[in-house]
Homo-oligomer: A and B are copies of this chain.
Amino acid sequence: MGKTNIRIKDIAEKAGVSTGTVDRVLHKRGRVSPVAEKKVLEVIEALNYQPNFIARALGANKNYTLAVLMPDPALDPYWSAPQKGLEAAAADYNSHGITIEKFIYNQNEVQSFADTSERIFSKKFDGVIVAPLFFQQYLPFAKKCGEENLPLVLFNTNIKEVPKLSFIGQDSYQSGRLGAHLLSTGLRLDPGEILLLHLADDLENSAHLMRKEEGFKDYFEQQEGRQRILAVNIKSPINENLVNHLDALLDNYQDIKAFFVTTSKAYEVAAYLEGVGLQDKLLVGFDLIEENISYLNKGVIDFIINQNAYRQGYQSIESFVDFLVLKKEVNDLLYLPLDVITKENVKYYLPQA
């Protein structure tokens, strides 16, 4: 680089020591006299030294293997987005020596998480990326990682009780408010009932869904409040149960104007509405999965809130690159944007294959 860029060598010269000493100071490896250390730090400060990350990455010349612990995309298509993000990032950071190994668990079985997570310790990894859907089972796993000095990056679901390197995800409460805003705009002159649907088997274990509900309700309470919110949870088998429930609900409450689905299964509701000719009702859901996109394009789903699942996966790897390879500081909490998706802008959000 030009004369503007200062290198370790330059610092060494100015400080009257060797590059090795500067290196030791930079990496806090010890074996440096207080006098030399002070001098080096002063010069670093004075010259405003910025390490060359390119050279650092090349010089490090290490391989890092990361374990990825996440639910099975085959059982819930939502998870294919973060998986793609993880794989894309792994490919992009191949030059940095990053490799991933996936450990897939069954999100419908608590025990599967425990079993699969245990398998991670059979090999030596440099870090673990995990979507910890099960709070109770995650705790001992995280504890063990701590003991083995395995840094943890969480995505999708935040668990604050145990130390971690970083969490990457979205603010569930705020996403509830956002959904409320969208529906509120659509209903502004039109009071009535809004149906909030959790389509999840383990609502008890899903704190983030409850956070969405809170945000959603809070928003309307702070408005004039002409809308009434009905919150309902429907478990699997969804397609059967949904029809029964919705038939009954629409029968009881004539004034249901809109639907808010807190999970990625808005397409199930869309299918129902289309079936009974109610596709004009407002419907807002989450996540850019194929089924939802299809109903979005048909106009049955009005808005999709995108939680950037792909980005979550990609960013998880990047956090580790920053930490392991570049030794940058990493933020322990990163909220990704909550994108509002419509038929008109959806194409810009799909990861280009």
User: How many chain A residues have a CB neighbour from B under 8 Å?
Assistant: 43
Residue of B nearest to A337 (CB): B348
Q: Mark A309-353, 1 if CB is under 8 A from B, else 0.
A: 000000000000000000000000001111111111100110000
Q: Which of A63, A339, A341 has the most CB of B within 10 A?
A: A339
Residue of B nearest to A63 (CB): B2
Q: Which residues in B have their C-beta under 8 angstroms from that of A5?
A: 94
Contacting chain B: which of A79-87, A180-188, A238-246?
A180-188
Q: Which residues in B have their C-beta under 8 angstroms from that of A57?
A: 54
Q: Mark A51-68, 1 if CB is under 8 A from B, else 0.
A: 011110110010100000
A190 interface residue, CB < 8 Å from B?
yes
Bound Cα distance from A61 to B52, whole angstroms: 12
A19 interface residue, CB < 8 Å from B?
no
Q: State whether A339 touches B342 (Cβ < 8 A).
A: no
Residue of B nearest to A62 (CB): B1
**Pick the contact of A338 from B282, B303, B336, B348 — CB < 8 Å?**
B348
With A1-B61, A95-B54 as known contacts, state yes or no: A339 contacts B336, CB within 8 Å: no
A96 interface residue, CB < 8 Å from B?
yes
Residues facing B in A25-77 (CB within 8 A) are 50, 52-55, 57-58, 61, 63
A90 interface residue, CB < 8 Å from B?
no
Q: Mark A168-211, 1 if CB is under 8 A from B, else 0.
A: 00000010011001100110111000000000000000000000
Bound Cα distance from A337 to B311, whole angstroms: 14
Interface residues of A (CB under 8 A from B): 1-2, 5, 50, 52-55, 57-58, 61, 63, 94-97, 174, 177-178, 181-182, 185-186, 188-190, 219, 282, 302-303, 335-345, 348-349
- Provide 16 A-B residue pairs closer than 8 Å at the C-beta atoms, listed in order of the A residue: A1-B63, A2-B63, A2-B97, A50-B94, A52-B58, A174-B344, A178-B342, A178-B345, A185-B185, A185-B186, A186-B188, A336-B348, A337-B349, A338-B344, A338-B348, A340-B345
